[in-house]
A and B are shown apart, each in its own frame.
Chain A
Amino acid sequence: MKPPPFEYHAPRDLDDALRTLARVGTDGKVLAGGQSLIPMLNMRLMAPAHLVDINRVASLDGVEAGAAGVRVGALARHSQVERGRSHPLLTRALRLVAHPVIRNRGTVVGSLAHADPAAELPAVLAVLDGSVRLARWESGRIATREVGAREFLVGPMESAVRPGELAVSAFFPALGPRTGAAFEELARRHGDYALAGVCAVVRLDEDGQVAAARVACTGVGPVPVVVDVTEASRDGWDAAARRVQEEIEPEDDIHASAAYRRHLVGVLAGRALGGAAREAAGGA
């Protein structure tokens, strides 16, 4: 369990980081919190020739909260964002991510770039329709593009980050008025990736009726499965939960059967939607 040989780069600023990434191209990997990358290297599941460690790059650790939402820099750690409490759903989701020691190092943006279909943060980004800002070195200067959640999360462990690119920040839109959110999941052990999870956002209208209801599910598809249940919820949350069950594509693995995961998502969706609606009503 020792990584294969690689060349290590520790750029000090963004220009340097992007230039290095441009140079190493497909042979390079970004090292952020290292909580997912290092185990994969140690198990020799990947062998990049270059590691570009962004931990010394100044200006990437910002968390900016505004009325529209929160922008989280590439070096903002899970724990830092969790304590910042700038977005209730993000805070709640982060508490479900791993254990404190891992949250002290792991980064929010790294988790999105890693694109594990069982991870919480991609689901949060997806349910909120957030986006990720990608930067690269092009013609002697920094070029950026903003990619929406749907395009960003491409497949299991696959994001839209291209070789030579760095995800510099992620944007999580604010919930808005009369809106509540919840994250329900079931992990075998405290802090493990969950067997399945459901993250829900519910917005009520002035009369307390459901104006919008959306969920994103983890662990039951190649990417977070986003389902709009605004219509279905007219027949109650149980009906909405059934609607969610129809959309997911769970698989058998050694921890749970597909049938169990489907059942579980129904239960969790009911709980999450109910919880989000209660919060929306309370916050109205």
Chain B
Amino acid sequence: MTTKLFGEPVRRREDPRLLTGQGRYLDDLGRDALAAAFVRSPHAHARIRDIDVTRALDVPGLVAIYTWEDLPERVARPLPLLIPHPALTHGRTAYPLAREIVRHVGEAVVMVVAADRYAAEDACGLIDVDYEPLKAVVGLEEAVQGAQLVHEDVPGNLGTHFVQEVAGLDGRGAREAIEAAPHTLAFRLDIERSASTPLEGRGVYARWDGRDLRVYSSTQTSSSVRMAVAAALQLPLTQVEVIAPDVGGGFGVKIVHPWPEEVLVPWAAMTLGREVKWAEDRREHFISSAHERGQVHYVRVGFDDDGRVLGLDVTFLHDHGAYTHYGIIVPIITSTQLLGPYKIGAYRVEFSAVYTNTVQVTPYRGAGRPQGAFCMERTMDKIARYLGKDRTVVREVNFIGPDEFPYDQRMIFQDGRPLIYDSGNYPEMLRMIKELIGWDEHVGRPGTGIGIGCYVEGTGVGPYEGGHVQITSDGRVHVSTGLTSQGQGHETVFAQIAATELGVPIERVSVVTGDTRRFGYAVGTFASRAAVVSGSAIALACRKVREKALRIAGDALEADPADLEIEDGVVRVAGAPGATIPLGTVAVLANPLRYAFDEEATRATPFAGAADFDRPPVAEGDEPGLEGRDFYSPIRSTFAAGMHAAIVETDPDTAEIRVVRYAVVHDCGKLINPMLVEGQIHGGVAQGIGGALYERMVYDAHGQLVNASFMDFLMPYATEIPHVETAHLETPSPLNPLGVKGAGEAGVIPVAAVIASAVEDAEGIEIDRMPLSPSELFDLRTARDMK
């Protein structure tokens, strides 16, 4: 039957639209809007002495020029610190337009509004900003020394210092456990800066009609942008609506909000009484949005003869960049998710996060986990190497057993709630990945290298999402949820859930996301949470609608609702052919009408007969219409897991690294749509390979980002990405009604660790730093040969 769609590889319903140019992205809207452009700081650190706009005033088409001083008090304030944390003792955020000091190249200084973007950029080019350059702080080590400060009132550049410690079962701390361990190792591991780099940059388009403000933003959270904009512009929430149109990728950078432009563009639209639009260009995206990944980790580990980890002590440095708009989610995730599928005797993790005169750091797909997985998986490989054991064997002795769930890691996770794994089966997963890649046959084969990496990912974080489901008199089902879509396939999976819950063909289901006109309460799309949280909310809303439909149909068919079933959009009495009523008709009956506007509606009008005169047309406690709304608020995160393995070839002459095979075993609980999960994994692996072999943000000593374009920031093409082989394991989550876990970030998390593991295997050289280019592998070979 077509309606049992949960778990089926249904093709993405959004693709025909998106692939044939029918998508409506931010810049497809507002054709007649004025264009905004920004003068951005060319200095990493400088004092603004003067801004002279005289030369720009003659540019044809110029409408307005704004500096910080022009902004009203509520708009002029520093941007909010989105997720305060007690350890972030010195949180600092930027002003929407720089006030006196600029702290990274790309910081917005002046806003120009003009007839079109050409004129706006011409005017930007003619605005003279007089800067007094200050010394820039670049790189973690320099920042830690604190000789030069990014923020005058942040001593030592230290924004955050945080320690979490979990004693062993014997009560011993990690350091003590390591001292007492039979074997110890200590090493440093580096991951360089990278970024989300969605193909569509940020963008905002605003319309003000004198009373209501409508904002379109290429965002991962329209509901929260709405609250932020309403607060900044001092408008009642009911007069602001925010819509995320089709969004060409987010990967984390678009969950940050409100961006300066998200406040300034609507403000300009209100001030000027004109539509205003800003569509970010690629250079702006590189230098003025957000980056991630750059961390330096110092690891000490103590273990026994079997490779069992008795104590693990990790100290790491995290780079805030210039500001902490989003808080410290990334290092918190590194420090907690580092543990992966393992039970570690005793664990201590300490991080210091420092300011530098670079673009701020906020979560990028994986959000601190790739760094954590790199630490843990490199550690496992080093233990294996030290003991002369197979790398998978060492992992296996450290696994949490399948019978040990729920497993409490005794830490506090990124949602402020306990880090308790809900379910999983790690030994089975290891068996599967070894079989998929052919581990035992490949290990030790000369000329190639094989690597492995494991991870656990907390997904589906709260606080909540909601779903609204309405069946109209034409039998169509309209689903809406407040969180947004950036290409994940929500239109497909949410429709699958609704079709399955309601027993209707998927063709009759439509899905709207990220539109505050349709659903106002929402959190956003991040942390692999949409399927878990919105998916569950939509299922619950469907169940409410179903219950009501069966009640009304029961009245109409004179049957007990418990005897009814819905199939193909028709309610019928189970086992009694003939007694049926289509859901569309149920919807008509659910909404008593006075006026007929079509044939269907006629049946609900006052003289259509069959009324019960002892009851009001809408029964007490009931509501007109066949619709339902519900929310799902998870008790805590649900923990997906995965294991990746790769085979690489390294060219003995050119030091090129080629990924020959890449295999993934993935467990995100119950699969709603295996094809879409695979798609998420493929995309994630591609980004992971980017991070492992190609992508880095290169800052020079003056804080200039020297590769701020796709010419020099080497995002891999399809030609650089191998075929990804996948297999699924399903350990349902006991925490939500669907038994699902998130999958959005899975593909990216262990890739750097896996490639490092494989290259190390091929070369016999320890790989402690990613990404790795042929030139760097050549350097490592040269250093080895000189020893």
B117 close to A (CB within 8 Å): yes
Q: Residue-by-residue, is A91-129 near B (CB-CB < 8 Å gives 1, otherwise 0)? A: 000000000000000000000000000000000000000
B122 touches A4 (CB 8 A): yes
Closest 5 CB pairs of A and B: A190-B719, A256-B775, A1-B281, A260-B775, A267-B653
A43 close to B (CB within 8 Å): yes
A189 touches B654 (CB 8 A): no
A43 touches B283 (CB 8 A): yes
Q: Residue-by-residue, is B764-782 near A (CB-CB < 8 Å gives 1, otherwise 0)? A: 0000000001110011001
Question: CB within 8 A of B656: which of A5, A186, A263?
Answer: A186
B125 close to A (CB within 8 Å): yes
* Chain B: minimal CB distance from A45 (Å): 11
Query: In chain B, residues 696-720, which have Cβ atoms closer than 8 Å to a Cβ of chain A?
Result: 698, 706-707, 709, 712, 714, 716-717, 719-720
Interface centre among B118, B694, B775 (most CB of A within 10 A): B775
Chain B count of residues within 8 A CB distance of the other chain: 29
A191 / chain B contacts, CB cutoff of 8 Å: 717, 719
A44 / chain B contacts, CB cutoff of 8 Å: 121, 125
A263-B281 contact given A188-B694, A189-B694, CB 8 Å threshold: no
A190-B720 contact given A2-B117, A264-B654, CB 8 Å threshold: yes
A209 close to B (CB within 8 Å): no
B518 close to A (CB within 8 Å): no
A186 touches B774 (CB 8 A): yes
Q: Which partner residue on chain B sits nearest A254 by CB separation?
A: B698
Supply 17 A–B pairs (Cβ within 8 Å), ascending by A: A1-B121, A1-B282, A1-B283, A2-B118, A4-B121, A44-B125, A188-B773, A189-B719, A190-B720, A191-B717, A195-B774, A254-B712, A255-B712, A255-B775, A256-B774, A257-B779, A263-B778
B654 touches A4 (CB 8 A): no
B125 touches A4 (CB 8 A): yes
* Chain A: minimal CB distance from B767 (Å): 17
Q: How far is the CA of A268 from the CA of B654 in the complex (A)?
A: 9
B121 touches A2 (CB 8 A): yes
Q: How far is the CA of A190 from the CA of B125 in the complex (A)?
A: 35
Q: Which partner residue on chain A sits nearest B653 by CB separation?
A: A267
B779 / chain A contacts, CB cutoff of 8 Å: 257, 259-260
Q: Residue-by-residue, is B278-302 near A (CB-CB < 8 Å gives 1, otherwise 0)? A: 0001110000000000000000000
Q: How far is the CA of A186 from the CA of B774 in the complex (A)?
A: 10
* Chain B: minimal CB distance from A270 (Å): 8
A192 / chain B contacts, CB cutoff of 8 Å: 714
A189 touches B717 (CB 8 A): yes
Question: CB within 8 A of B706: which of A189, A254, A259?
Answer: A254
* Chain B: minimal CB distance from A92 (Å): 18
Interface centre among A2, A5, A255, A256 (most CB of B within 10 A): A2
| Supplied contacts A44-B125, A254-B706, A260-B775, 4 more A-B pairs, CB within 8 Å | A4-B125, A43-B283, A259-B782, A260-B774
B716 / chain A contacts, CB cutoff of 8 Å: 189
Question: CB within 8 A of A256: which of B118, B122, B281, B773?
Answer: B773
A189 / chain B contacts, CB cutoff of 8 Å: 694, 714, 716-717, 719-720
B717 touches A190 (CB 8 A): yes
Q: Which partner residue on chain B sits nearest A42 by CB separation?
A: B281
- Show the binding face of A for B, using Cβ within 8 Å: 1-5, 43-44, 186, 188-192, 195, 254-257, 259-260, 263-264, 267-268
A257 / chain B contacts, CB cutoff of 8 Å: 775, 778-779
Question: CB within 8 A of B654: which of A3, A5, A190, A267?
Answer: A267
B717 touches A260 (CB 8 A): no
Q: How far is the CA of A1 from the CA of B118 in the complex (A)?
A: 8
Q: Which partner residue on chain B sits nearest A193 by CB separation?
A: B711
Question: CB within 8 A of A5: which of B122, B281, B283, B694?
Answer: B122
Q: How far is the CA of A43 from the CA of B706 in the complex (A)?
A: 14
Q: How far is the CA of A257 from the CA of B779 in the complex (A)?
A: 9
B281 / chain A contacts, CB cutoff of 8 Å: 1
Q: How far is the CA of A188 from the CA of B778 in the complex (A)?
A: 14
Query: In chain B, residues 528-564, which have Cβ atoms closer than 8 Å to a Cβ of chain A?
Result: none
A186 touches B714 (CB 8 A): no
Q: How far is the CA of A212 from the CA of B537 in the complex (A)?
A: 76
A254 / chain B contacts, CB cutoff of 8 Å: 698, 706-707, 712
Q: How far is the CA of A189 from the CA of B125 in the complex (A)?
A: 34
Q: How far is the CA of A192 from the CA of B707 in the complex (A)?
A: 15
Q: Which partner residue on chain A sits nearest B706 by CB separation?
A: A254
* Chain B: minimal CB distance from A273 (Å): 14
* Chain A: minimal CB distance from B329 (Å): 29
A264 / chain B contacts, CB cutoff of 8 Å: 654
B125 / chain A contacts, CB cutoff of 8 Å: 4, 44
Q: How far is the CA of A268 from the CA of B121 in the complex (A)?
A: 44
Q: Residue-by-residue, is B100-126 near A (CB-CB < 8 Å gives 1, otherwise 0)? A: 000000000000000001100110010
Q: How far is the CA of A263 from the CA of B779 in the complex (A)?
A: 11
B709 / chain A contacts, CB cutoff of 8 Å: 43
Q: How far is the CA of A235 from the CA of B295 in the complex (A)?
A: 50
Q: How far is the CA of A189 from the CA of B720 in the complex (A)?
A: 7
Q: How far is the CA of A4 from the CA of B717 in the complex (A)?
A: 31
Q: How far is the CA of A26 from the CA of B140 in the complex (A)?
A: 47
Q: How far is the CA of A60 from the CA of B775 in the complex (A)?
A: 42
B775 / chain A contacts, CB cutoff of 8 Å: 195, 255-257, 260
B656 / chain A contacts, CB cutoff of 8 Å: 186
B698 touches A5 (CB 8 A): no
Query: In chain B, residues 377-392, which have Cβ atoms closer than 8 Å to a Cβ of chain A?
Result: none
B117 / chain A contacts, CB cutoff of 8 Å: 2
* Chain B: minimal CB distance from A98 (Å): 11
Q: How far is the CA of A267 from the CA of B709 in the complex (A)?
A: 30
* Chain A: minimal CB distance from B531 (Å): 33
B706 / chain A contacts, CB cutoff of 8 Å: 254
B694 / chain A contacts, CB cutoff of 8 Å: 188-189
Q: How far is the CA of A82 from the CA of B505 in the complex (A)?
A: 51
B698 / chain A contacts, CB cutoff of 8 Å: 254
A5 touches B717 (CB 8 A): no
* Chain A: minimal CB distance from B418 (Å): 43
* Chain B: minimal CB distance from A218 (Å): 15
A5 touches B719 (CB 8 A): no
Q: How far is the CA of A254 from the CA of B714 in the complex (A)?
A: 11
A256 / chain B contacts, CB cutoff of 8 Å: 773-775
Q: How far is the CA of A114 from the CA of B656 in the complex (A)?
A: 29
Q: How far is the CA of A243 from the CA of B135 in the complex (A)?
A: 45
* Chain A: minimal CB distance from B61 (Å): 11
* Chain B: minimal CB distance from A8 (Å): 13
Query: In chain B, residues 739-787, which have Cβ atoms closer than 8 Å to a Cβ of chain A?
Result: 773-775, 778-779, 782
B778 / chain A contacts, CB cutoff of 8 Å: 257, 259-260, 263
Q: How far is the CA of A186 from the CA of B657 in the complex (A)?
A: 12
A3 / chain B contacts, CB cutoff of 8 Å: 118
* Chain A: minimal CB distance from B139 (Å): 15
Interface centre among B281, B283, B654, B720 (most CB of A within 10 A): B654
Q: How far is the CA of A3 from the CA of B655 in the complex (A)?
A: 40
Interface centre among B117, B778, B779 (most CB of A within 10 A): B778
Q: How far is the CA of A218 from the CA of B701 in the complex (A)?
A: 29
* Chain B: minimal CB distance from A26 (Å): 21
Q: How far is the CA of A2 from the CA of B283 in the complex (A)?
A: 12
Q: How far is the CA of A4 from the CA of B124 in the complex (A)?
A: 11
A186-B654 contact given A4-B125, A254-B712, A260-B778, CB 8 Å threshold: yes
B773 touches A255 (CB 8 A): yes
Q: Which partner residue on chain B sits nearest A3 by CB separation?
A: B118
* Chain A: minimal CB distance from B341 (Å): 34
Q: How far is the CA of A257 from the CA of B706 in the complex (A)?
A: 16
Q: How far is the CA of A93 from the CA of B744 in the complex (A)?
A: 41
Q: How far is the CA of A188 from the CA of B717 in the complex (A)?
A: 10
A5-B653 contact given A190-B717, A260-B774, CB 8 Å threshold: no
A5-B118 contact given A257-B779, A267-B654, CB 8 Å threshold: yes
A188-B714 contact given A256-B774, A257-B775, A264-B654, CB 8 Å threshold: yes
* Chain A: minimal CB distance from B480 (Å): 35
Q: How far is the CA of A264 from the CA of B654 in the complex (A)?
A: 6
Q: How far is the CA of A248 from the CA of B283 in the complex (A)?
A: 33
B282 / chain A contacts, CB cutoff of 8 Å: 1
